C-alpha cells in the first residue's frame, strides 16, 4: 500500500473519532425544568411567566409549606425578548422539554394564537403535545394558583 493511501486511510479513520462526543450536552444541574408557561400582554409588551420545578422539593421528603415550583417572569416587546428576559432572571436556563401546559392570557388570545403558536413550535425543545389553555383574564394568575389535589398546578391543569 502506498504511503499516501495509508495516510489518507488513517485520516479517514481518526477524524471521525476526534469530532464525536458530547459537544452540545446539557448538565442536569445547569438547566431548570419548565413545567408551565404563561403568556400575557400588558399594553404593547408581552409578559412571560414560567413555572419551574424545584427538584429538591419534589423528592417527597419535605412536607413543608413551600411549593415545589418557582415562578419566573420576564417582559419584552416581543415574545422572544420576554423569553430572553426570563433567561436573565434565572441562574438556570429553562428547559422546555418537560413543559406540560401553555396558558394564554385573554389579551394574547384576542390578538390571535396562530403567530404565537408558530413561534413556540419552532423551538427545538418544545414538544408538540403540550396542552394549550386560554385563561379568562391573566395567565399568570392561573400559574400562581395553588391546587389542593396536585403539588404543581401545571400538572394539575394538564
Q: How far is the first Cα of the chain from the last one, in angstroms, to the nearest whole number?
A: 65
Query: How do residues 60-114 score in pLDDT, each as one tens digit?
Result: 545 556 778 889 999 999 998 998 999 898 888 888 888 889 999 999 999 899 9
Does pTM surpass 0.85? no
Sorting pLDDT into bands at 50, 70 and 90, what band is 6?
confident
Pairing of strands 31-42, 131-134: unpaired
Q: Which of 8, 17, 9, 96 is nearest to 50 (CA)?
A: 96
Residue spans of beta strands (DSSP E) within 4-151: 31-42, 45-53, 69-76, 93-95, 101-104, 131-134
Q: Are 75 and 45 in contact (CB under 8 A)?
A: yes
CA distance 85 to 154: 21
Rg of the chain taking only CA atoms, in angstroms: 21
Amino acid at each position: 500500500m502506498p504511503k499516501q493511501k495509508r495516510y489518507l486511510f488513517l485520516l479517514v479513520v481518526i477524524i471521525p473519532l476526534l469530532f464525536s462526543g458530547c459537544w452540545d450536552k446539557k448538565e442536569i444541574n445547569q438547566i431548570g425544568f419548565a413545567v408551565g408557561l404563561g403568556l400575557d400582554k400588558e399594553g404593547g409588551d408581552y409578559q412571560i411567566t414560567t413555572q419551574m420545578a424545584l427538584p429538591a422539593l419534589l423528592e417527597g421528603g419535605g412536607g413543608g409549606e413551600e411549593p415545589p415550583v418557582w415562578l419566573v417572569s420576564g417582559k419584552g416587546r416581543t415574545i422572544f425578548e420576554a423569553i430572553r428576559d426570563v433567561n436573565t432572571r434565572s441562574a438556570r436556563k429553562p428547559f422546555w422539554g418537560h413543559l406540560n401546559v401553555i396558558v394564554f392570557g385573554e389579551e394574547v388570545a384576542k390578538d390571535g394564537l396562530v403567530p404565537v403558536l408558530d413561534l413556540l413550535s419552532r423551538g427545538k425543545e418544545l414538544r408538540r403535545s403540550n396542552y394549550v389553555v386560554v385563561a379568562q383574564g391573566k395567565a399568570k394568575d392561573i400559574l400562581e394558583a395553588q391546587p389542593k389535589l396536585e403539588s404543581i398546578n401545571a400538572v394539575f391543569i394538564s
